[in-house]
A and B are shown apart, each in its own frame.
Chain A
Amino acid sequence: AQSVTQPDIHITVSEGASLELRCNYSYGATPYLFWYVQSPGQGLQLLLKYFSGDTLVQGIKGFEAEFKRSQSSFNLRKPSVHWSDAAEYFCAVALPMEYGNKLVFGAGTILRVKS
């Protein structure tokens, strides 16, 4: 069965420090992967996506993610975190149309930024 694991429930980093949020997936075919961000009380915003090609993908707000097939991972990174990055981050893998184009989400990682 398809699944997404985000091993870290909470992460705290200092403002200006680098960030890496982990995501591991289990999916039999070529994965289509996404990272979303959710600020408190708001909907989810798409940060970036991986469909094929270059395994390092760039997203909005200075985020990037690297797809590593050998490790079944799609970790999110940012070189220098800003206080406004404090939010919850979700990794997801897409299912095909015969499964309703559903996304399988990880449980989320809450990012806290300390000054």
Chain B
Amino acid sequence: SQTIHQWPATLVQPVGSPLSLECTVEGTSNPNLYWYRQAAGRGLQLLFYSVGIGQISSEVPQNLSASRPQDRQFILSSKKLLLSDSGFYLCAWSRGSSYNEQFFGPGTRLTVL
């Protein structure tokens, strides 16, 4: 069966510090991968998605970047965090064909102070 991991679970960082969140998927190959953010009291915002190694699509301009160094690894990064980067970050995967459901990781709670 497939599983998706995210770490860390919780992170508190000062403004201006770097960020690296990691997501890995097990039990499948060539998945599509997604990063979402949920700000307090708001819905899901798709940040990035990837259909293959090194292929990253950005949905919204922002202070963040994403990379996919391996088939089942997806990393969300920032060089300098802003207060507005605080939120709940979710990674998800889907099979690499059309119209499939997405499976979500447990999330990372990021607080920028």
Contact = CB atoms under 8 A, between A and B. Distances in A.
A46 B101 contact: yes
Nearest to B57: A100
B90 A43 contact: yes
B43 interface: yes
A41 B43 contact: no
A101 B96 contact: yes
B32 A101 contact: yes
Interface size class of A (residues with CB under 8 A): 20 to 34
A94 B49 contact: no
Contact residues of A: prevailing secondary structure: loop
A95 B34 CA distance: 14
Given A43-B106, A105-B43, A107-B43, A100 B51 contact: yes
Contacts of B32: 100-101
A105 B90 contact: no
B61 to A, nearest CB: 17
A101 B94 contact: yes
Contacts, number: 60
A46 B103 CA distance: 7
What's the dominant secondary structure at chain B's contact region? strand
B66 to A, nearest CB: 13
B102 interface: yes
A12 interface: no
Given A100-B32, A101-B94, A102-B49, A43 B105 contact: yes
B78 to A, nearest CB: 21
B104 A43 contact: yes
A34 B44 contact: no
A44 interface: yes
Interface string B51-76: 10000010000000000000000000
Interface in B1-29: none
Interface in A41-79: 41-46, 49, 51
Contacts of B100: 94, 101
Nearest to B105: A43
19 contacts: A34-B101, A41-B109, A43-B105, A43-B106, A44-B90, A45-B104, A46-B101, A46-B103, A51-B99, A94-B100, A97-B96, A97-B97, A100-B51, A101-B96, A101-B98, A101-B99, A101-B102, A102-B49, A108-B43
